[in-house]
A = this chain, B = another copy of it.
């Protein structure tokens, strides 16, 4: 059995991203300048924030008129009512309201704090502004994969990651909100364990684990390293989108 290994490299040279920036071109240039290129099976993990910024998904809070419901919730959680209004617009469902946090199901299905809207690392005008999640993160990942594949003549994977809190555990971890060319969820149904028994744990959230691994390098906000190259992961399963990581409401015991 060969020794399995994996390397992760944060790309230097990704500038601050502004609306309209050509993210694929910037990443391709950074890969070339770093002398890394891409080989088949490489996976690029891209921070949600720069995908959203390039798409210009800002909302100026000055333009937001909070509803009565937003004002009520804002008073309970201690947030700007306009910010809460944007959360409500992005959310399909409020799952739980706690001190300083609204756990909401984003309309894409992600259950997360404040429906994925935060105010860190975004430039603020007078009224302040917030940044929304990409409208179609799996689609963003696919589009980026297409550009990268073409530029380097390979088939790579792309993951768009974000940081989520969890019930029961402190701290946030990286998770995949978009994916292309990677087996986001590996189904082990029927696989045998070392002793020939059928495994009871049937699914592994591989794209989330890759997203977490990449977060380790991105983690230091003051360094700004929003793109990480993961090399060496041997995918043995069919690819699938990050949407497959979202538990359906019917299967969810905690909604």
Asked whether, in the complex, the Cβ of B168 is within 8 Å of the Cβ of A201, the reply is no
Nearest 9 CB-CB pairings of A with B: A171-B205, A213-B213, A167-B254, A111-B168, A212-B212, A209-B212, A171-B203, A4-B10, A6-B8
Interface residue count on the A side (C-beta < 8 Å): 79
A103 within 8 A of B: yes
Asked whether, in the complex, the Cβ of A246 is within 8 Å of the Cβ of B168, the reply is yes
Chain A interface (Cβ < 8 Å from any Cβ of B): 1-12, 16, 34, 96, 98, 103, 110-111, 118-124, 163, 166-175, 185-186, 188, 191-195, 197, 199-201, 203-206, 208-210, 212-213, 215-217, 219-225, 233, 236, 244-247, 251-255
User: What residues of B have a CB within 8 angstroms of the CB of A171 in the complex?
Assistant: 185-186, 203-206, 208, 245
Report Cα–Cα, A9/B166, bound state, in Å.
28
Report Cα–Cα, A186/B167, bound state, in Å.
18
Within the complex, which residue of B98, B120, B168, B213 is in contact with A216, where a contact is CB–CB below 8 Å?
A: B213
Within the complex, which residue of B163, B201, B215 is in contact with A120, where a contact is CB–CB below 8 Å?
A: B201
Closest B residue to A254 by beta carbon equals B167
Most buried by B among A6, A195, A247: A6
